[in-house]
Amino acid sequence: MNVTRTVAETRAALAGLLRPLGFVPTMGALHKGHLALVAAARASCATVVASLFVNPTQFSAGEDLGAYPRDEAGDFESFEQAGIGLVFAPAATELYPDGFATAVSVRELTEDYEGAARPDHFGGVALVVTKLLNIMRPDTAFFGQKDAQQLAVVRRLARDLDLPVEIVGVPTVREHDGLAMSSRNAYLTADERAVAPDLYRALLAGAGAASRPGASGKDAVAAAASLLLGQAGSSRPSFSIDYLATVDADTFTQTDMLEPHTLLIAAARLGKTRLLDNISLSPSAYPERDATA
Amino acid sequence: MNVTRTVAETRAALAGLLRPLGFVPTMGALHKGHLALVAAARASCATVVASLFVNPTQFSAGEDLGAYPRDEAGDFESFEQAGIGLVFAPAATELYPDGFATAVSVRELTEDYEGAARPDHFGGVALVVTKLLNIMRPDTAFFGQKDAQQLAVVRRLARDLDLPVEIVGVPTVREHDGLAMSSRNAYLTADERAVAPDLYRALLAGAGAASRPGASGKDAVAAAASLLLGQAGSSRPSFSIDYLATVDADTFTQTDMLEPHTLLIAAARLGKTRLLDNISLSPSAYPERDATA
């Protein structure tokens, strides 16, 4: 496996690779969710390349940039075992040299939810994804459905800027108890980890409520909130809900209509850890719907 | 010559063209300045393609978007005679479909001068250039030195977003009396047209002042202002100066130092027409310096 550190090296190395080329961007701290992205890429592409870059511009002030889990050697080994041909792992100064002055933003679908909670986040994501797609020039790029708003932003960005790439969303990979895989799960204490799967159970309860005849998005939200907050007052760690809402998966505007594109999305804190998850309210859209823990 | 209207058609047509590929983006209303871009492109590229698109996002409210000169049939003929292989001439809805939500901006070097005079201008330029470069995927793209701040913005944008393209600035083409070629010269009345070359004469006077031992940028600005405003009070149309300044050509920050990258830049109004021009204060940088009218 080829590890490149500069844009120039990367371009030179990419020139000789077989196409179609699949690309998996990551911030490292790899888990089975990342490996599912690689597996999806390998299923449709002759060559799969990845990036490992903890992008500073997508962290807002006071967030966990400094504490974000890093294990470059372990990540390289995981990439190699997963069949990755090239990993681009630049220093921050390579992607953001002196005099860097350009911003990319996606309006409207970044106003609420993660965009409201993390003011600089999606601007940083849009910027680094634009750069990485211009460097790697893949035919297809793979993103997790767990970060559903990010996936919507990247799809819109690629369409609006005419980036010649197909964006593929890959289903969320879960622990055996249903907790969505995330590098940030490493922040959870043992007590918090025991409670964390309640977030997905709450989404399943919401999806169950939504499946009843005549139900609306409000019913899904109420059922999920009831499950998530039902344990409060006990001695277990309790969730603090950032948001729990039904939205259109493409526009991330709130909707009470239950349609094929409607997602039930959640962000909630357990102690210092912020967990994200979502579930489709369309009976057929997401396989997780049936993979009940 | 192939005329394409959609991104998909354009991509299909480009796939078969010989490389290196040169690209000349235009808003039409072609003049010898545009043809100099095409000639520069033909000198170094196997195939030259162009775009013809009056980009609405780079016009601020109240500007001349509706009045901007349009002659598509004449422009196609000029492109064909100049040896252009393909012209992409999309409708605005092709580049900005419903739900368009993405913005690209370059900070710092867009704050002053044209950026201050035309608040939305460089955001629109950055956006459409990013899109056109992603659609055309040229090896080299050609821009006029007359729009010096735009050239600086495009160079920074391409570097910052890792657009895999070389940006080439082409020297300003002038009328016999020194007036810089511009599609907007068509707005000038006969009386204004007679006076318009004073703008370039003022820049030459500034460059002359700058060439004296011990001179600073202030001397260049003073000499240019003196020539430009010296005729005021007569019955001739008179200039109203928007700005007249010495700047670094890469950062567009004001500087009094006379260095190889220092430009004397000017924007001035004659009646309803706003004229732009610039001259390098480095003895060797711009050929116009010696091509005195």
Single-letter residue type at A78: S
**pLDDT band at A218, cuts 50/70/90?**
very high
CATH code for position A127:
3.40.50.620
CATH code for position B201:
3.30.1300.10
Same domain for B189 and B130?
A: no
Q: Does residue B178 fall inside a structural domain? A: no
Return the residue of B nearest to A250 by Cα.
B99
Range of the domain at A214: 188-287
Return the residue of B nearest to A110 by Cα.
B101
Q: Which of A107, A126, A161 has its CB closest to that of B131? A: A161
Confidence at residue B292, expressed as pLDDT on a 0 to 100 scale = 38
Confidence at residue B45, expressed as pLDDT on a 0 to 100 scale = 98
Q: Does residue B176 fall inside a structural domain? A: no
* SS3 state at B68: coil
Tell me which chain B residues have a C-beta less than 8 angstroms from the C-beta of A106. Answer: 101-103
Confidence at residue A235, expressed as pLDDT on a 0 to 100 scale = 79
Same domain for B195 and B277?
A: yes
Same domain for B58 and B166?
A: yes
Same domain for B50 and B110?
A: yes
Same domain for B7 and B142?
A: yes
Return the residue of B nearest to A93 by Cα.
B160
Confidence at residue B2, expressed as pLDDT on a 0 to 100 scale = 96
Confidence at residue B232, expressed as pLDDT on a 0 to 100 scale = 62
When mean pLDDT is compared across A12-21, A177-186, B263-272, B279-288, the lowest value belongs to: B279-288
Domain termination site, one of B110, B140, B170: B170
Q: Does residue A181 fall inside a structural domain? A: no
Closest-CA distance, A154 to chain B, in angstroms, reads: 10
Confidence at residue A291, expressed as pLDDT on a 0 to 100 scale = 38
* SS3 state at B230: coil
Q: Does residue B47 fall inside a structural domain? A: yes
Is A11 in Cβ contact with B134 (below 8 Å)? no
Q: Are strands A262-270 and A239-248 parallel, antiparallel or unpaired?
A: antiparallel
Please tell me the distance from the alpha carbon of residue A161 to that of residue B57, in angstroms, as a whole number. 14
Tell me which chain B residues have a C-beta less than 8 angstroms from the C-beta of A163. Answer: 134
- pLDDT tens-digit map of A124-166: 999 999 999 999 999 999 999 999 999 999 999 999 999 999 9
Phi, psi of A90 (to 5 degrees): -80, 160
Is A103 in Cβ contact with B164 (below 8 Å)? no
Same domain for B157 and B234?
A: no
**Does this model's pTM top 0.95?**
no
Same domain for A198 and A151?
A: no
Q: Does residue A293 fall inside a structural domain? A: no
Query: Among candidates B51, B61, B17, B68, which has minimal Cα distance to B131?
Result: B51
Same domain for A18 and A159?
A: yes
Q: Which of B99, B106, B161 has its CB closest to that of A130? A: B161
Same domain for A166 and A213?
A: no
Please tell me the distance from the alpha carbon of residue B140 to that of residue B119, in angstroms, as a whole number. 28
Same domain for A234 and A260?
A: yes
Per-residue pLDDT of chain B (293 residues; tens, 9 = 90+): 999 999 999 999 999 899 999 999 999 999 999 999 999 999 999 999 999 999 999 998 889 999 999 999 999 999 999 999 999 999 999 999 999 999 999 999 999 999 999 999 999 999 999 999 999 999 999 999 999 999 999 999 999 999 999 999 999 999 999 999 999 999 999 999 999 999 999 999 999 999 999 999 999 999 999 999 986 666 789 999 999 999 999 999 999 999 989 999 999 999 999 999 999 997 654 444 343 33
Please tell me the distance from the alpha carbon of residue A188 to that of residue B210, in angstroms, as a whole number. 66
Q: Does residue A82 fall inside a structural domain? A: yes
Same domain for B95 and B130?
A: yes
Q: How many domains does chain B have?
A: 2
Closest-CA distance, A133 to chain B, in angstroms, reads: 9
Q: Does residue A183 fall inside a structural domain? A: no
**pLDDT band at A283, cuts 50/70/90?**
low
- pLDDT tens-digit map of A47-89: 999 999 999 999 988 899 999 999 999 999 999 999 999 999 9
Same domain for A14 and A95?
A: yes
Q: Which of A106, A109, A162 has its CB closest to that of B131? A: A162
Contact A155, A249 (CB under 8 A): no
Tell me, what's the ipTM?
0.92
Instruction: Calculate ∠ Cα A10-A73-A125, nearest 5°.
Output: 55
Q: Is A34 a catalytic residue?
A: yes
Q: Does residue A175 fall inside a structural domain? A: no
Closest-CA distance, A80 to chain B, in angstroms, reads: 26
Domain termination site, one of B170, B200, B216: B170
